[in-house]
């Protein structure tokens, strides 16, 4: 099932749970960003090309190269150096991406035990890091020369941690069950 359809079905429940008087006040997804920091590989053109190709395959659109705004001698970074690759997805592509993330990518991760509820920040957004890009179905493990990690950030219109967490739970995100044994 598409995430957009799931959201449409969950909207009345969210509206009732948080006592919203207006349907437009119900939290919704705004955008998804996929980020990769190049780190020590900033000078390696082949690595950057491989990362751009992987991010383009995962998101379905051409990513941008993020350049350093300032020189930082401690990190050996000069102003204008490439420090990352980023793609922002909105609209129907975002819903398709999130559907694939929940339905295909998370189940493909080895030893995945769920997302920590603390990954949802105080404004209701979530950031999930992946150690390998091969968890995504568009990336074939046979054709990958270089393994790299990436981060997926999902931005919502939620105002609090509880609203964001409720939204992501309704959308089917696999969260860890918290253990209260240590109290």
Predicted pLDDT at 181: 45
Torsion of CA 27, 137, 57, 168, to 10 degrees: 10
Compute the residue count for the chain.
Answer: 183
Predicted pLDDT at 148: 86
Spatial separation of the C-alpha atoms in residues 8 and 97, rounded to whole Å: 17
Predicted pLDDT at 179: 44
- Report residue 152's pLDDT band, with 50, 70 and 90 as the boundaries: very high
32: exposed, middle or buried (Cβ count in 10 Å: 0-12, 13-18, 19+):
buried
CATH dotted code for 3-18+27-170: 3.30.1440.10
Q: How many Å from the N-terminal Cα to the C-terminal Cα in the chain?
A: 39
Lowest mean pLDDT among 64-73, 140-149, 159-168, 170-179: 140-149
Predicted pLDDT at 178: 67
Torsion of CA 67, 42, 145, 55, to 10 degrees: -10
Mean pLDDT of 9-19: 90
Q: Beta partners for 37?
A: 84
Domain ranges (residues) in the chain: 3-18+27-170
What is the pTM for the complete model shown?
Answer: 0.86
Copy the structure tokens of residue 121.
């920040």
What is the DSSP secondary structure assignment for residue 1, as one 8-state letter? -
Mean pLDDT of 53-59: 90
What is the DSSP secondary structure assignment for residue 103, as one 8-state letter? I
Predicted pLDDT at 165: 93
Please give the mean pLDDT across all residues of the chain.
87
Q: Looking at the chain, which runs of residues are DSSP E strands?
A: 29-37, 64-67, 82-89, 126-130, 150-156
Spatial separation of the C-alpha atoms in residues 131 and 173, rounded to whole Å: 19
Task: Express each pLDDT in 90-132 by its tens digit.
Answer: 999 999 999 999 988 888 888 888 899 999 999 999 999 988 8
Between 129 and 1, residue with greater pLDDT: 129
Q: Which is nearest to 50 in space by CA: 154, 134, 153?
A: 134
Lowest mean pLDDT among 7-21, 69-83, 146-160: 69-83
């Amino acid at each position: 099932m598409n995430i957009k359809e799931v959201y449409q079905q969950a909207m009345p429940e969210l509206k009732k749970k948080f006592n919203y008087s207006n349907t437009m006040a119900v939290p919704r997804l705004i955008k998804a960003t996929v980020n990769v920091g190049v780190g020590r590989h900033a000078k390696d053109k082949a690595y950057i090309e491989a990362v751009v190709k992987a991010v383009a395959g995962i998101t379905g659109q051409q990513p941008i190269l993020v350049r350093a705004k300032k020189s930082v001698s401690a990190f050996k970074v000069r102003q204008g150096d490439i420090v990352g690759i980023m793609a922002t997805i909105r609209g129907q592509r975002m819903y398709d991406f999130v559907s694939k993330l929940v339905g295909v990518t998370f189940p493909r991760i080895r030893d995945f035990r769920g997302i920590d509820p603390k990954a949802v920040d105080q404004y209701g957004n979530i950031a999930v890091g992946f150690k390998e890009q091969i968890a995504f179905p568009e990336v074939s493990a046979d054709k990958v020369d270089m393994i790299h990690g990436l981060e997926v950030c999902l931005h919502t219109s939620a105002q609090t941690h509880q609203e964001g967490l409720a939204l992501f739970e309704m959308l089917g995100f696999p969260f860890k069950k918290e253990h209260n044994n240590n109290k």
